[in-house]
Chains A and B, each alone.
Chain A
Amino acid sequence: NAGVTQTPKFQVLKTGQSMTLQCAQDMNHEYMSWYRQDPGMGLRLIHYSVGAGITDQGEVPNGYNVSRSTTEDFPLRLLSAAPSQTSVYFCASSYAQAQETQYFGPGTRLLVL
């Protein structure tokens, strides 16, 4: 199993550009989530999904969209990038619920100029 994969690993955007961060898992996990990690702030939940077709907002959802058309994939879309979205983004999955062991992807480092 590849586990949780994320692409790209690195990305530089200009303010106002849009892009999609990809996340996929091959463990048949129902629960998937997106976090951003900033220095001194810990990981903050952006959006999460408890199954295909179901998504919900986390702590910091503004400026981001998600969809969950399949169990495996959970892309994160930045609609109009802003410098405040410069961060490291982690995707995670677990078997059923958030309190189960979370498996994280390797992260995407995003710089918005």
Chain B
Amino acid sequence: RKEVEQDPGPFNVPEGATVAFNCTYSNSASQSFFWYRQDCRKEPKLLMSVYSSGNEDGRFTAQLNRASQYISLLIRDSKLSDSATYLCVVNINNAGNMLTFGGGTRLMVKP
């Protein structure tokens, strides 16, 4: 089993739709969680950190479920510019020195 797993997609949605991605992680001791965004042939960039209480940034909402060991990303009112690959990232190493990336979920927003 991979340490961080994501549905690779692609998720094809129309503009304005709401879409949600889930990511599961295997190490129950993981402490830090993130969503990164990666555009085609570009480097990953931090989208948002995921906090235990859940957090929101504009149209984006991230949630953490420690009991079930998954994190989620909800995108409301999808824009064409949201088309990208979304990477789930978990700090697996308890020393805090290593991040583990999921394989990414590809989102395509259509007009």
Chain A interfacial positions (CB closer than 8 Å to B): 31, 35, 40-45, 48, 50, 56, 58-59, 90, 97-99, 101-102, 104-107
10 other contacts beyond A48-B97, A50-B97, with CB at 8 A cut-off? Answer: A40-B103, A44-B101, A90-B43, A98-B91, A98-B93, A101-B46, A102-B36, A104-B43, A104-B45, A106-B43
- The DSSP consensus for interface residues of chain B is loop
| Chain B contacts for A45, CB-based, 8 A | 98-100
The answer to whether A98 touches B44, judged by C-beta atoms less than 8 angstroms apart, is no
5 pairs of A and B residues whose beta carbons are closest in the complex = A99-B32, A104-B43, A43-B101, A42-B103, A42-B101
State A99–B103 Cα separation when bound (angstroms).
18
Total residues of chain B contacting the partner, CB 8 A: 22
Chain B interfacial positions (CB closer than 8 Å to A): 4, 8, 31-32, 36, 42-46, 87, 91, 93, 96-104
The answer to whether B43 touches A58, judged by C-beta atoms less than 8 angstroms apart, is no
Partner among B46, B87, B98 whose Cβ is within 8 Å of the Cβ of A58: B98
Whether A56 contacts B87 in the complex (CB less than 8 A), given A42-B4, A42-B102, comes out as: no
Smallest CB separation, A80 vs chain B (Å): 26
